[in-house]
Amino acid sequence: MENADSSAVENTWAQPDAVLRVLSKLDATPSDLYRPARISRHMKLQVDAAGHERQTQSRELLRGGPGVARRMIKMLRCKSLPLPPTVLAAEGCRLERFMADTATFTCAFEFALNRPLREGELAMVETTIRNPPGQDDQFTAWRLRQHVREFVVQVDFDPGRLPARCVYYHQPSAGDPPQTVEERVSPEGCASFQFATIDPVPGIYGVRWDWP
């Protein structure tokens, strides 16, 4: 399983070495990115009037596997890192450590679970992470390994700046071209874009948008 998880990092991250370096600072391996398993993932990104990715809210249902899970690790790749990202809220867990590879703007959060999870046990956790200033990429992406049964992505845009086009896409790996799953074009602009799927195949899932 460790080799499979290492391959997943190599296939779904543009700079896998940076991911491994940050994980090592948390005494973690690629397998720790997927333990405990995420059964359900609801992700909501807010984009502000300047077109910057302001913050991301996540709500995830966890299921314990072999052994006892006491933490979960979340990765974040920024466009720049003038300031560290900030955890604004956490339910069912608490921030334990934050590490970054400043050369590649790759960040990792270690959250301690409020309740250790044994095999088969379930727990819901929620986090809100504020991005550093200046994150003006016109896309956002998440990486899914396995076990995820339900995946929901929502991007909310400030009324002061609405995109003319939003696209939900999937990439089997970082080296593959994005495959459009759903597209929305609106002359009035897209105030919110949501996509939900059941039993998604592993890979990279993202939303990109175009300004008028």
Instruction: Check residue 61 and give its pLDDT.
Output: 98
Instruction: Check residue 5 and give its pLDDT.
Output: 52
Q: How many Cβ atoms from other residues are within 10 Å of residue 53's Cβ? A: 22
Instruction: List all residues 6 or more positions away from 182 whose beta carbon is below 8 Å from its beta carbon.
Output: 167, 168, 195
150-157 vs 37-47, strand pairing mode: parallel
Instruction: Check residue 3 and give its pLDDT.
Output: 52
Residue with tokens 């300031």: 83
Q: Tens digit of pLDDT per residue, the chain (212 long)?
A: 445 455 667 777 878 899 999 999 999 999 899 999 999 999 999 999 999 999 999 999 999 999 999 999 999 999 999 999 999 999 999 999 999 999 999 999 999 999 999 999 999 999 999 999 999 999 999 999 878 999 999 999 999 999 999 999 999 998 899 999 999 999 889 999 999 999 999 999 999 999 99
- Name the phi and psi angles at 64, rounded to 5: -70, 145
Q: How many helical (H) and strand (E) elements, i.e. helices and strands, does the chain have?
A: 2, 13
pTM of this structure: 0.91
Residue type, 45: L
- Assigned token pair, 150: 């339900």
Domains and CATH numbers, the chain: 2-210 (2.60.40)
